[in-house]
């Protein structure tokens, strides 16, 4: 069968298969209209995907690196050749993302498959300096088996490709559990994998129960997860109980520092994107702003002016700010903003549901000033279009308060002072630091967080290593009896003079 948003399906390469479970409607967060229907994978459907994955991986792991790379380049070719209009529109209607961002995410995943295709060809082990003459001693890397990919709704295709490309390159089969909110677009995207061997990639819709079943299965061997801290901890515990490796990206509450040496026009423009990109529903969104007193008022004026120019509306229209993904997501944002205002903060912009958008889960991009470090909006992850600004006396106080958080995903700084840029890179407690250009990533550099923001890394060499295990190998090509083998020579024992040891 071919995929249709109205007929719940799962995917086992190269086929879509109908699902037996009860249907759940997919609701457009901008219009509250029904977009399609999904279902949760049954035990039988999970078994079918894992059976196919196990069979496919047995052959895939035996392929030479050049042949495996050729397959991954074929996936990249399919991505570059495909028309993703329907996929992008589905993503917009499922979770509210503006269309240019949806089509950009979906269409620009080819490079990650090419990167890992060649990374796996270039580096498959290490020869060590020998500890014994005549011995060849090295480490080799091998796949785990079947990897599980539990995906978020904010970048459902891009983040899937980050870990799936690495896992396939390492020699694994992949089972994808999409976010419920972006199941339709994820399923629609699966056609790019049809050139791969049968059963090597699967997509199983469902909620937490499906994820739990996949993690618990003896036929899965590694897990990649992106989502909330609470869910990330649950995944880590479940994996630890089974000694199953996992990569966890668990979000954060990223700081952004505006130094007294900041280029304020650039800082204000960059802060708009850092705070409000995807309606603030980005793991690395700037949520906590620390602005040095000397430039605070001028920065706030510039930031507010640029924020007020943003267009709110349906992601299929000309807009930068779409709806939040759900009513619950908006309710959390409203709770945190209202709490801050009650405790002395002031909404310079926003702080309300836009009057022109009463239908759907819209919220105005909001700038709060007068925020203090003890407020809930600073201590929790907001995950919405809110910039909470704390006034600080100097750069040192900004660094200290930025680090005063259970999170540690990313951190940004705007400054023209080279010493401050280097100090920020050294002192900020985060897995990623951006100076004058927030939110950038690089396929060749590790992506991930410190503290509660995650375990392990995606992208780069570490992203590949997350899906393969090492094996130490010692080969002596001239077998001979070693002097340290049993039995030990008498000279090795302490002379006791015939006395017994007590």
SS3 content of the chain, % helix, strand, coil (to 5): 40, 20, 40
Strands 24-27 and 34-38, bridge-based pairing: antiparallel
Residue 199 CA: distances (Å) to CA of 14, 193, 314: 7, 10, 37
**Cβ partners under 8 Å of residue 198, min gap 6:** 13, 14, 52, 56
273: buried, middle or exposed (CB in 10 Å: 19+, 13-18, 0-12)? middle
- Laid out side by side, the sheet with 366-369 consists of 346-349, 366-369, 386-392, 286-292, 254-258, 410-414, 432-435
What is the SS3 assignment for 333? helix
Q: List the catalytic residue out of 249, 320, 429, 458.
A: 249
Six token digits for residue 327: 């009513």
Distance of alpha carbon 98 from alpha carbon 318, whole angstroms: 8
Burial class (CB in 10 A: 0-12, 13-18, 19+), 77: middle
How far apart (Å, rounded) are the C-alpha atoms in residues 238 and 253?
25
Identify the active-site residue in 161, 246, 283, 390. Answer: 283
- Angstrom distance (rounded) from CA 158 to CA 164: 10
Asked about 458 being catalytic, the answer comes back as no
Strand order in the sheet with 246-249: 15-18, 9-12, 201-203, 173-177, 146-150, 222-226, 246-249, 454-455
Q: How many CA atoms lie within 13 A of 186 on its CB side?
A: 35
Strand partners, 147: 174, 222
The gap between the terminal CA atoms of the chain, to the nearest Å, is 79
Nearest Cα neighbor of 365 from 342, 388, 344, 343 is 388
Instruction: Please choose, from the candidates 442, 402, 407, the residue with its C-alpha nearest in 3D space to the C-alpha of residue 425.
Output: 402
Tell which phi-psi region holds residue 497, choosing left (phi > 0), alpha (psi between -120 and 50) or beta.
left
Q: Where are the alpha helices (DSSP H) in 253-394?
A: 264-276, 296-308, 327-342, 376-379
Query: Can 89 be counted among the known catalytic residues?
Result: no
User: Is 388 in a helix, a strand, or coil?
Assistant: strand
Enumerate the active-site residues. Answer: 249, 283
């Amino acid at each position: 069968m071919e995929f249709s948003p109205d007929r719940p399906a799962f995917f086992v390469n190269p086929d879509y298969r109908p699902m037996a479970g009860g249907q759940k409607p997919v609701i457009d967060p901008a219009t509250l209209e029904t977009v399609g229907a999904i279902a949760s994978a049954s035990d039988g459907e999970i078994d079918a995907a894992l059976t196919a994955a196990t069979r496919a991986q047995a052959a895939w792991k035996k392929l030479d690196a050049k042949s495996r790379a050729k397959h991954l380049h074929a996936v990249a070719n399919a991505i570059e050749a495909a028309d993703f209009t329907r996929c992008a529109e589905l993503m917009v209607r499922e979770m509210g993302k503006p269309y240019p961002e949806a089509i950009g995410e979906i269409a620009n995943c080819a490079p990650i498959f090419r990167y890992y295709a060649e990374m796996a060809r270039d580096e498959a082990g290490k020869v060590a300096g020998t500890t014994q003459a005549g011995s060849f001693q090295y480490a080799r890397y091998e796949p785990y088996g079947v990897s599980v990919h539990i995906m978020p709704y904010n970048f459902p295709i891009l983040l899937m490709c980050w870990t799936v490309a690495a896992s396939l390159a390492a020699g694994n089969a992949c089972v994808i559990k999409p976010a419920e909110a972006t199941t339709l677009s994820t399923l629609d995207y699966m056609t790019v994998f049809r050139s791969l061997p049968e059963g090597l990639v699967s997509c199983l819709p469902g909620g937490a129960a499906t994820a739990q079943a996949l993690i618990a299965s003896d036929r899965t061997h590694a897990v990649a997860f992106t989502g909330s801290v609470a869910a990330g901890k649950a995944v880590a515990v479940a994996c630890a109980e089974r000694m199953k490796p996992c990569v966890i990206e668990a979000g954060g509450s990223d700081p952004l520092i505006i130094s007294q040496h900041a280029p304020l026009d650039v800082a204000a423009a960059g802060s708009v994107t850092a705070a409000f990109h995807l309606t603030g529903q980005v793991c690395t969104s700037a949520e906590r702003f620390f602005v040095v007193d000397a430039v605070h008022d001028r920065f706030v004026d510039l930031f507010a002016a640029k924020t007020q120019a943003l267009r709110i509306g349906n992601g299929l229209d000309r807009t930068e700010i779409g709806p939040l993904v759900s009513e619950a997501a908006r309710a959390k944002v409203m709770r945190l903003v209202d709490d801050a205002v009650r405790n002395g903060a002031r909404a310079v912009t926003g702080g309300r549901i836009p009057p022109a958008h009463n239908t759907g889960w819209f919220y105005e991009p909001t700038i709060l000033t007068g925020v203090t470090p003890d407020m809930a909006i600073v201590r929790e992850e907001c995950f919405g279009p809110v910039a909470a600004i704390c006034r600080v006396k100097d750069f040192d106080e900004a660094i200290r308060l930025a680090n005063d958080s259970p999170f540690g995903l990313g951190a940004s700084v705007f400054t023209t002072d080279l010493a401050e840029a280097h100090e920020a890179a050294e002192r900020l407690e985060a897995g990623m630091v951006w100076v004058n250009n927030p939110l950038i990533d690089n396929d060749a550099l590790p992506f991930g967080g410190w503290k509660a923001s995650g375990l392990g890394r995606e992208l780069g060499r570490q992203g590949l290593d997350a899906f393969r295990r090492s094996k130490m190998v010692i080969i002596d090509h001239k077998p001979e009896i070693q002097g340290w083998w049993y039995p030990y020579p008498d000279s090795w024992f302490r002379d006791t003079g015939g006395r017994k040891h007590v």
